[in-house]
Amino acid sequence: MNNAAKSYELESGSTADSLFEDHLSLVKIIAHHISVRLPPGKCIDDLIQVGMIGLLEAARTYVPNLGAEFKSYASIRIRGAILDELRRETWMPRSVQHKSRELSAAILNVENRIGRSATDREIAEELNISLQEYAGVLESVATCTVFSLDDESNFTEPENSEDVPFNNIQTASTKAKLAEVIGRLPKQEKLVVALYYDYGLNLREIGEVLEVSESRVCQIHSQATSRLRSRMREWIKNGEL
């Protein structure tokens, strides 16, 4: 190995170490954010340990000149590492993943047909179920959709190309598309998404802001992220991303 190569290797290693050390707090933030949707008994320390592996991989593979900020890139890798681990532990049943895909498909079908955001009643009719049953569907898929804005490609095992809607979330064009579709969400759904992802509030805290139950916030969040997933998937299908 020549001197230039040795110098590059040392510099790269030093940079990676600095990135890792400077962003350790990010792992704890993400791990705690995810932990609020886990069943009782799951140790937060386990999530942090897995997240640190994701951070280490991010620090070692990050390429600055590709445009994405390291914090954004690392967040995706950290969440991905944690969610992959949870999936390996069979935390998310296949049946729930199937319900989530059915919900997204129903929303897309209705909105393509009527040309606007579908209401709860319209989506329930598309699924051929009552409003009460629809509320149950939203709650059952909530633990899946809570991560779907930027982690679905790491969370589920795709059955076909349509099941990878967020694998390019770090690109500027995808972020612009995501911002556009969030802006077109119904008012209440848009507020819940902003409070959850931009301000870091959990479902209980959002319920206090909106003066509704935590269960209702869970339903609103689930519907919002299912709506986002269906629209983003359609863009990818049409080659717009």
Instruction: For CATH 1.10.1740.10, list the domain ranges present in the chain.
Output: 3-88
Confidence (pLDDT) at 6? 40
The confidence score (pLDDT) of residue 238 equals 67
Neighbouring residues of 56: CB distance < 8 A, sequence distance ≥ 6: 20
The 10s digit of each residue's pLDDT in 67-93 is 678 888 899 889 888 887 777 665 557
- Band of residue 109 on the pLDDT scale cut at 50, 70, 90: very high
Lowest model confidence (mean pLDDT) among 50-54, 96-100, 133-137, 197-201: 197-201
- Lowest-confidence region among 26-35, 39-48, 83-92, 168-177: 168-177
Distance CA 182, CA 148 (A): 13
Tell me, what DSSP letter sits at residue 160?
A: S
At residue 152, does pLDDT exceed 50?
A: no
Q: What integer pLDDT is reported at residue 145 of this predicted model?
A: 47
Contact between 153 and 195 (Cβ < 8 Å): no
Give the residue with greater pLDDT, 234 vs 221: 221
- Tell me, what's the pLDDT at 174? 58
Domain 94-237 CATH (choose: 1.20.120, 1.20.140, 3.40.190, 1.10.260): 1.20.140
Dihedral sign computed on CA atoms, order 151, 154, 159, 160: positive
What CATH class does 3-88 carry?
mainly alpha
Residue 238's nearest CA partner among 146, 181, 165 is: 165
User: How would residue 65 be classed by pLDDT, with cut points 50, 70 and 90?
Assistant: low
* Rounded Cα distance, 79 and 32, in Å: 11
Provide CATH 1.20.140 ranges for the chain: 94-237
Q: What is the mean pLDDT of residues 171-200?
A: 76
Is 97:144 a contact under the CB 8 Å cutoff?
yes
Which of 92-106, 153-167, 221-235 is least confident? 153-167
pLDDT score of 170: 45
The stretch 173-182 carries a mean pLDDT of 69
Longest dimension (CA), the chain: 71
Tell me the C-alpha distance between 109 and 105, whole Å. 6
pLDDT at 150 over 50: no
Higher pLDDT, 225 or 121: 121
pTM, to two decimals: 0.54
Q: Which residue has the tokens 């206090």?
A: 208
- The pLDDT > 70 percentage for the chain reads 71
Tell me the average pLDDT of the chain.
Answer: 75
pLDDT at 128 over 90: yes
Task: Flag whether pLDDT at 52 surpasses 80.
Answer: yes
